[in-house]
Structure 1
Amino acid sequence: MPGHRSIRRVSRIAAAAAGLAIAAISPVSLLAQSADASGKAPVFTAKSGWYKDALIYEIYPRSFQDSNGDGIGDLNGITSRLDYLKALGVDAIWLTPIYPSPQVDFGYDISNYEGIDPQYGTMADFDRLVAEAKKRNIGIIMDLVLNHTSDKHPWFLASRSSKTDPKRDWYVWKDGKAGGTPPANVPNNWESVFGHSAWEWDAKTQQYYYHRFYIQQPDLNWNNPAVRKAMYDVERFWIAKGVVGFRLDAITSLFEDPTFSDEDYVKNPDGSIKINAYGDKEVKTDKTDNLPRVNDVLKELRKTADETKGRKVVLIGETYVDSIADLRRLYGENNDALDLPMDMQVGFINRLDVSEFRRNINDAETGLNGNEPLFVFDNHDNPRWDRYGDGTHNADIGRMLATILFASRDTAMMYYGDEIGMVTTPPTSKDQVKDPIGITGWPKEKGRDGERTPMQWSEGPNAGFSKDGVKTWLPIPASYKTINVKSEVSDFDSMLNWYKQLIELRRANPALRDGDHVMLNTENNDVLMWLRKAPSSDPAQPPVVVACNFTARPQTVSFDLSGQEVNGKGITSRKAKTLMKTPGASDPASLDAVQLPPYGVYIGQVE
């Protein structure tokens, strides 16, 4: 950031990038107080709100760090990078599934809920990861897959062995429609999320089983109390292992309409039935998603988590819902369900529309009964942040999106590699595809390999992810030569340093950390502007203003602070101290004329 280059120190990122023999100089956040000294790092204690304003970092274990040279990331690899994550400012790590699995869906098809898949390591390796993370005040969050198991799980093997087996009712089995023959007489027109019918014929027992996802992922029957007990026992098992929370996969899909009647079809604007990427007539999901009984299970999961003594165990939901009212219900009427349902309505707008961002952020800040929203822009199931890019200003757009994530009142969830600007790198031909979605849907659906490529640590062999000469499970993108941790540590204006400074600023500034979020200049549909007011616990703290230019054109804006108060007094000052700004931008003389470059950002503290 020009104008502040004299304020430098040896970056903690540089010092902590394990395995990188560098001592680069990099900027600090423009603060007198560091993140470590702020006293805001989470303490995982009972009844604490450690997850509020936390940074949760999603790791796809196959792709983070390979420690043994087999081309697949593993637990010891993650442990080796904990100092890097600590220096970045991470509070908790969400691990996608590491349980034993046939790996049809790369771990989301689980064959044993209380073990570790050998390709990721051993239970001793997991225990070491938890212990080493705890030393750095980083919590471990497990991915708990409750909707379905692998078809190789002992429960399902028993269930499909006979109609009279005690575990038959652990899964959803139905007869075919009368008058037809398999596979044409499926019970209804429900579809798998991953293409084609959601029903699979079992010749041995002459019934169909239901699978919301892959054929190899049969759905559990959550109407069965024995299923619930078994899963709550799994929850207790991992809590005893020291985890600080769970991300609940596909949690809104636990129940099905008991009538098992057909869904309505999705229509195009001309009235014709929509055809999806798999060539199917697309059906709605009113009878298979977000049914009322889901909240009963959430409350029971919460009750189980709250049995824990000595630390708060947080429940995070994978919650793709249609409205802020749907999201609000997932917290529970008495805040007795999810702690953090994921708000996908902000980060997955997927177009740079100021009015939509403003409306959806404002809904989250004002429509959740004061609860903390969890904002998400990227994950392992969706193209990375560069889906918002225009091909010319991608880096500035990336900085802008990061600013929305970290300068809002929210718990922030990010995906590994976001901090260095890793981009989506999809396969270029079907023979390269590993993800079954891409194999089924090619070429309209290329699958999710593009957002799961190995972490880019350096410009060296295999990007520092694995040993030289090893074939990695997915190819290393060509972008690793310039987009990598080692190169960006020493670049003052890199994406990595932008993330680092945002995270430090958020942690140390009271208004950004704990203050209210108020939208400003709501008539402006080119620039998103907001105010972070001083928290009630520290009302004398100065407020912070933020502006993000959503256009490729320079913009000059004046912050409208009329009617805004701090500590019972109106905000009259038009002066601000610059906290952060897009590289190359100038400091404004007044809040009456803040100049923003294309997709530019300004963050200032009102004086």
Structure 2
Amino acid sequence: MNTIRTRIAGAAIAFALASTFTPAMPGQATSKAEGASGKAPAFTTNPAWYKSALIYEIYPRSFQDSNGDGIGDLNGITSRLDYLKTLGVDAIWLTPIYPSPQVDFGYDISNYEDIDPQYGTLADFDHLIAEAKKRNIGIIMDLVLNHTSDKHPWFIQSKSSKSNPKRDWYVWKDGKAGGEPPNNPPNNWESVFGHSAWQWDPGTHQYYYHRFYIQQPDLNWDNPQVRKAMYDVERFWINRGVVGFRLDAITSLFEDPTFSDEDYVKDANGNIKINAYGDKEVKTDKTDNLPKVNDVLAELRKTADQTKGRKVVLIGETYVSSIADLRRLYGEHNDALDLPMDMQVGFINKLDVSEFRKNIGDAETGLNGNEPLFVFDNHDNPRWDRYGDGTHNQDIGRMLATVLFASRDTAMMYYGDEIAMVTTPPTSKDQVKDPIGITGWPKEKGRDGERTPMQWNSDSNAGFAKDGVTPWLPIPSSYKTANVQTEVSDYDSMLNWYKQLIELRRTNPAIRDGQHVMVNTDNNNVLMWLRQAQGQPAVVVACNFTAQPQKVSFDLSAQGITSKNAKTLMKTPGSSDPASLDAVQLPPFGVYIGQVQ
């Protein structure tokens, strides 16, 4: 009976998806909110709207081209809002869409208060905000606070002379004594993107600091004028209707005031490690996650909280090394970030049950009850298929999605995850667009592989752009089968798996609101947990992390649950419903979700 119920549910979902996923013509901006509830958006009525929300990251260049130039744009995103609504998205995070020379594809900003013409206009942005709001979807902007483009007017002025009023808006230093420029940088600090983090300026005879590309000079956050200017930028976009900000490289805002050398990273034999760019690898103790970061976070929060009528959420790009570091980013009085990204779960990068159990448990018990934000992939990292074994990739993908959506967390996913888009890196250096890949080839192939265009259908250009248009990155050959149109009608597709998981998360009280308790913690083949909300039926989840079938028995005695009966809510396609929670059979990388009766 449960199998039949699941099949009928799958059919209903496929019908619903088919009715709203009809691909829009590129450039066609939808004007009605199909499937909208008619209620006011949660982000205008509920200060905790972001808890248990689904945040969907869009890389705008790659989502939908509406004007035939091969580059995705704002009107393209607007034309796909019904798809996102039906999928169950609560908010969209847009990577940078500001005017930019595009050295780092938008993370080098030359004007914080406009839209790059490649993506559209401020009017197009306002239209996107309005249409998204009709569908109860909020827009989250990427706010790049650590650095600007070297073409930003601020830096042009700063570079013009040592006496310019904006000289101190950036980090300038003399070279080391005893050396000759440009070969005597102030210290041994390195850019994340390779080589020295200092660039010699022959015009003013000093070096400027760049944590990232040479064309991305770091702002001086010790300067109160810099802070005021950036808080004004925050207000500008809040006033245009955004519901939050993803704060790029937020832990990198400050540098050790001594500007002394970093220690080198050494291997087990005591030898200095060499990175993909051929540099001696240095630590980042003096350039990352310094205490003054939280002062800025509190000021950003104060600015956001001045907004009337909606909760503006602050999300941090926070690669930190411990749960204690992550907890501090919420603020001592929860006055800093709402959602620092927890990379310690999704970026374990190996299917190790004990590590997943520990890191998810840390998030449940080590954040003072704050909401964790789990992330498994994004525009800077290979997609989910890095976990694949080449044989069971689809089942592994379903399992990872289950960990993301059936845990107690706000879930962040990356466009195309829901149709099992895979990483497709360039095969030769001449194909590379990302400067990281150009600098580091072949050890570092860059990030093009995770940024390829969204795969909407099996037509030419995968529905991303019109026929005859050359997309900015090649369309992977996988688009012929991994695309929205094909997967809508396949009950067992990744798309329908995602849709069912997201719907279950939205409607089941235990999964939406319940505590997360690890069970059967001596089993290192299967990750098992319980979601339990007061007065509601408990839900159990099991994920097989191995390529071998596993049989498990749920031990819920510590939670006061004696029943061995469960109603199947979801399970890996083709698997059987268990007769009892004492005998749950899981296929390779299989999933079982059941509601205790």
Name the TM tier (shorter chain). over 0.9
Aligned-partner SS, 1:563: helix
Aligned-partner SS, 2:7: coil
2:555 matches 1:556: no
Give a deviation string over 1:120-143, Cα, whole Å, max 9, x none: 001100000000000000000000
Give a deviation string over 1:582-607, Cα, whole Å, max 9, x none: 00000000000000000000000000
Name the structure 1 match of 2:594. 604
Change over 3 Å in CA distance of 1:548–1:205 after alignment to 2: same
Instruction: State the alpha-carbon separation in 2 of the partners of residues 187 and 100 from structure 1.
Output: 31
Instruction: State the alpha-carbon separation in 1 of the partners of residues 263 and 189 from structure 2.
Output: 9
Q: Which amino acid aligns with 1:345?
A: Q
Q: Is residue 158–residue 167 contact of structure 1 (8 Å, CA) maintained in 2? A: yes
Name the structure 1 match of 2:16. 12
Q: Which runs of 5+ in 2 are unaligned?
A: 26-34
Aligned-partner SS, 1:274: coil
Name the structure 2 match of 1:567. none
Q: Residue 545 of structure 1: which of 520, 529, 540 is its match?
A: 540
Deviation at 1:571, TM superposition (A): 1.1
Instruction: State the alpha-carbon separation in 1 of the partners of residues 308 and 36 from structure 2.
Output: 26
Q: Which amino acid aligns with 1:603?
A: I
Equivalence map 1:196-345=2 (5 Å): 196-345=195-344
Q: Which amino acid aligns with 1:307?
A: Q
Instruction: State the alpha-carbon separation in 2 of the partners of residues 88 and 197 from structure 1.
Output: 44
Instruction: State the alpha-carbon separation in 2 of the partners of residues 471 and 202 from structure 1.
Output: 38
Q: Which amino acid aligns with 2:377?
A: D
Instruction: State the alpha-carbon separation in 2 of the partners of residues 379 and 309 from structure 1.
Output: 31
Name the structure 2 match of 1:30. none
Name the structure 1 match of 2:31. none
Equivalence map 1:18-167=2 (5 Å): 18-19=22-23, 43-45=42-44, 48-167=47-166
2:359 matches 1:357: no
Change over 3 Å in CA distance of 1:531–1:289 after alignment to 2: same
Equivalence map 1:453-532=2 (5 Å): 453-532=452-531
Q: Residue 567 of structure 2: which of 577, 587, 591 is its match?
A: 577
Deviation at 1:171, TM superposition (A): 0.0
Give a deviation string over 1:463-512, Cα, whole Å, max 9, x none: 00000011100000000000000000000000000000000000000000
Deviation at 1:46, TM superposition (A): 6.3
Q: Residue 590 of structure 1: which of 580, 584, 588 is its match?
A: 580
Name the structure 2 match of 1:28. none
Name the structure 1 match of 2:28. none
Aligned-partner SS, 1:11: helix
Deviation at 1:184, TM superposition (A): 1.3
Instruction: State the alpha-carbon separation in 1 of the partners of residues 41 and 310 from structure 2.
Output: 11
Q: Which amino acid aligns with 1:139?
A: G
Instruction: State the alpha-carbon separation in 1 of the partners of residues 582 and 38 from structure 2.
Output: 32
Aligned-partner SS, 1:315: strand
Deviation at 1:421, TM superposition (A): 0.1
Name the structure 2 match of 1:176. 175
Instruction: State the alpha-carbon separation in 1 of the partners of residues 338 and 594 from structure 2.
Output: 31
Q: Is residue 3–residue 577 contact of structure 2 (8 Å, CA) maintained in 1? A: no
Instruction: State the alpha-carbon separation in 2 of the partners of residues 328 and 18 from structure 1.
Output: 43
Deviation at 1:15, TM superposition (A): 1.3
Instruction: State the alpha-carbon separation in 1 of the partners of residues 552 and 430 from structure 2.
Output: 50
Deviation at 1:540, TM superposition (A): 1.9
Q: Is residue 456–residue 484 contact of structure 1 (8 Å, CA) maintained in 2? A: yes
Deviation at 1:110, TM superposition (A): 0.1
Give a deviation string over 1:367-413, Cα, whole Å, max 9, x none: 00000000000100000000000000000000000000000000000
Instruction: State the alpha-carbon separation in 1 of the partners of residues 41 and 555 from structure 2.
Output: 35
Instruction: State the alpha-carbon separation in 1 of the partners of residues 18 and 132 from structure 2.
Output: 19
Instruction: State the alpha-carbon separation in 1 of the partners of residues 108 and 21 from structure 2.
Output: 33
Q: Is residue 99–residue 113 contact of structure 1 (8 Å, CA) maintained in 2? A: yes
Q: Is residue 56–residue 413 contact of structure 1 (8 Å, CA) maintained in 2? A: yes
Deviation at 1:18, TM superposition (A): 4.0
Name the structure 1 match of 2:30. none
Which structure dedicates a bigger proportion of its chain to helix?
A: 2
- Percent identity reads 84
Instruction: State the alpha-carbon separation in 1 of the partners of residues 38 and 287 from structure 2.
Output: 46
Q: Is residue 462–residue 483 contact of structure 2 (8 Å, CA) maintained in 1? A: yes
Instruction: State the alpha-carbon separation in 2 of the partners of residues 528 and 541 from structure 1.
Output: 23
Give a deviation string over 1:34-89, Cα, whole Å, max 9, x none: x97899x9611366100000000000000000000100000000000000000000
Instruction: State the alpha-carbon separation in 1 of the partners of residues 107 and 573 from structure 2.
Output: 41
TM-score (norm 2): 0.96
Q: Which amino acid aligns with 1:361?
A: I
Deviation at 1:148, TM superposition (A): 0.0
Instruction: State the alpha-carbon separation in 2 of the partners of residues 126 and 142 from structure 1.
Output: 11
Give a deviation string over 1:75-128, Cα, whole Å, max 9, x none: 000000000000000000000000000000000000000000000001100000
Q: Which amino acid aligns with 2:565?
A: K
Instruction: State the alpha-carbon separation in 2 of the partners of residues 229 and 16 from structure 1.
Output: 44
**How many correspondences in the alignment?**
584
Instruction: State the alpha-carbon separation in 2 of the partners of residues 46 and 291 from structure 1.
Output: 35
Name the structure 2 match of 1:29. none
Q: Is residue 18–residue 81 contact of structure 1 (8 Å, CA) maintained in 2? A: no
Give a deviation string over 1:520-550, Cα, whole Å, max 9, x none: 000000000000001xxxx221000000000
Instruction: State the alpha-carbon separation in 1 of the partners of residues 126 and 7 from structure 2.
Output: 42
Change over 3 Å in CA distance of 1:524–1:401 after alignment to 2: same
Q: Is residue 2–residue 584 contact of structure 1 (8 Å, CA) maintained in 2? A: no
Instruction: State the alpha-carbon separation in 1 of the partners of residues 510 and 345 from structure 2.
Output: 21
Change over 3 Å in CA distance of 1:487–1:101 after alignment to 2: same
Q: Is residue 42–residue 50 contact of structure 1 (8 Å, CA) maintained in 2? A: no
Q: Which amino acid aligns with 1:563?
A: A
Deviation at 1:12, TM superposition (A): 2.4
Aligned-partner SS, 1:5: helix
Deviation at 1:20, TM superposition (A): 6.3
Deviation at 1:5, TM superposition (A): 2.3
Q: Which runs of 5+ in 1 are unaligned?
A: 22-34, 565-569
Instruction: State the alpha-carbon separation in 2 of the partners of residues 77 and 60 from structure 1.
Output: 12
Aligned-partner SS, 1:45: helix
RMSD (CA atoms): 1.4
Q: Is residue 42–residue 54 contact of structure 1 (8 Å, CA) maintained in 2? A: no
